[in-house]
């Protein structure tokens, strides 16, 4: 980071605390929502229905078709549901898939979004949108897609399985790791990144041992919020580019892909980013950051999460195609990565374990 910097605060209202789901009707009223369509995945239909009941007359119905990577077909179906319900806003209940769908509706129909996260994805804190069409995921930035209000209720994460909690948390960690060496970083982002990494690194082992640990749940959700805010304030790098290409090309689970890839990207990039490396060594209390991150990934694997891309069904013969797609439209990175380095990283992530 140079002596000068630019930091642009995002226009976002955050309500954090156990039981804060109860404020949803007041938040919807504050945003002027008279007919809010509640969005969810099929698996979160029950919670979405409870949220609709809580909203009462302000609820216009439930659309439970959210999917990973926001396929354009899903967005079209949601747009039809918005039109049929005459909705003037959306309440996105769930993780990155549902928040991503809310962002697509904000982008295409200028609808305000109120987010109620139930995982540690962090998407609700960013102006980044993504759409997948013909196995290719396109992303962009637009402040218009950001939720107007985010309600963080740690109680909603209490039933999140341990393996999902850890992989989702490592996904959040990736946001902060990349923010520490982003070209548009700042002291504000660095402070949020360090606190977010510390909170998650301390909380995830607790949740692995006891998913009902309430203090761990609060810390993990707070850390995810801060890490997501880091991603929203900086330019994405190689890690996110890789995960977007892999996810769009093979329809891979988002959090698990991030968890697998992160230690390998860190091993490749941190030698060229000494300030980020020093910050992560300090906050993780380690002399080897990639090994510390790999240890968290191993924790997820112990809980049943996949340990390598091969376990997600990616064939080794597919890796050159992934590398070509990444290199065709590269993201910012601490140093220029060539095809040989990228293929080495992908083969290591394919096998699993440390680089």
Q: How many CB atoms lie within 10 A of CB 218?
A: 19
Are both 13-157 and 162-351 of the same fold?
no
**pLDDT tens-digit profile of 28-79?**
999 999 999 999 999 999 999 999 999 999 999 999 999 998 999 999 999 9
Q: What value does the mean pLDDT take over residues 193-213?
A: 95
**pLDDT tens-digit profile of 250-284?**
989 988 999 999 999 999 999 999 999 999 999 99
**CATH code of the domain made up of 13-157:** 3.40.50.1970
Concatenate the DSSP letters of all residues of 195-261 into one string.
HHHHHHHHHHHHHHH-TT-HHHHHHHHHHHHHHHHHHHHS---HHHHHHHHHHHHH---HHHHHHHH
Architecture in CATH for domain 162-351: Up-down Bundle (1.20)
List CB contacts of 182: < 8 A, sequence separation 6 or more. 189, 234, 235, 236, 237, 332
Distances (CA, A) of 246 to 59, 224, 249: 36, 22, 5
Higher pLDDT, 132 or 39: 39
Q: What value does the mean pLDDT take over residues 229-238?
A: 91
Q: Where are the domains of the chain?
A: 13-157, 162-351
Question: Residue 167 has what pLDDT?
Answer: 92
- pTM to 2 decimals? 0.90
């Amino acid at each position: 980071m140079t002596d000068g910097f630019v930091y642009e605060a995002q226009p976002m209202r955050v309500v954090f605390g156990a039981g804060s789901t109860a404020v949803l009707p007041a938040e919807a009223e504050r945003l002027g929502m008279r007919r809010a369509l509640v969005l969810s995945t099929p698996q979160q239909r029950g919670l979405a229905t409870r949220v609709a009941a809580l909203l009462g007359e302000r609820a216009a119905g439930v659309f439970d078709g959210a999917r990973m990577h926001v396929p354009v077909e899903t967005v079209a179906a949601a747009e039809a549901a918005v039109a049929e319900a005459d909705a003037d806003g959306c309440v996105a209940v769930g993780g990155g898939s549902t928040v991503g769908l809310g962002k697509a509706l904000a982008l295409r129909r200028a609808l305000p979004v109120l987010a109620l996260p139930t995982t540690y994805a962090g998407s609700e804190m960013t102006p980044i949108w993504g759409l997948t069409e013909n196995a290719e995921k396109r992303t962009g930035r637009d402040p218009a897609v950001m939720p107007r209000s985010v309600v963080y209720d740690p109680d909603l994460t209490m039933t999140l399985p341990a393996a999902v909690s850890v992989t989702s948390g490592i996904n959040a960690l990736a946001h902060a790791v990349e923010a520490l060496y982003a070209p548009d970083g700042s002291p504000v982002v660095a402070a949020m990144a360090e606190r977010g990494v510390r909170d998650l690194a301390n909380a995830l082992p607790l949740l692995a041992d006891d998913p009902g640990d309430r203090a761990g749940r609060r810390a993990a959700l707070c850390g995810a919020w801060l890490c997501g805010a880091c991603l929203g304030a900086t330019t994405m790098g190689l890690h996110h580019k890789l995960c977007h290409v892999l996810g769009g090309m093979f329809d891979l689970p988002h959090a698990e892909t991030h968890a697998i890839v992160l230690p390998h990207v860190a091993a490749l990039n941190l030698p060229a980013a000494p300030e980020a490396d020093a910050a992560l060594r300090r906050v993780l209390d380690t002399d080897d950051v990639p090994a510390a991150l790999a240890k968290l990934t191993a924790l997820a694997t112990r809980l049943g999460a996949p340990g390598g891309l091969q376990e997600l069904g990616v064939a080794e013969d597919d890796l050159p195609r992934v590398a070509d797609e990444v290199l065709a439209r590269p993201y910012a990175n601490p140093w220029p990565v060539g095809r040989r380095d990228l293929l080495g990283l992908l083969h290591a992530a394919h096998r699993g374990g440390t680089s």
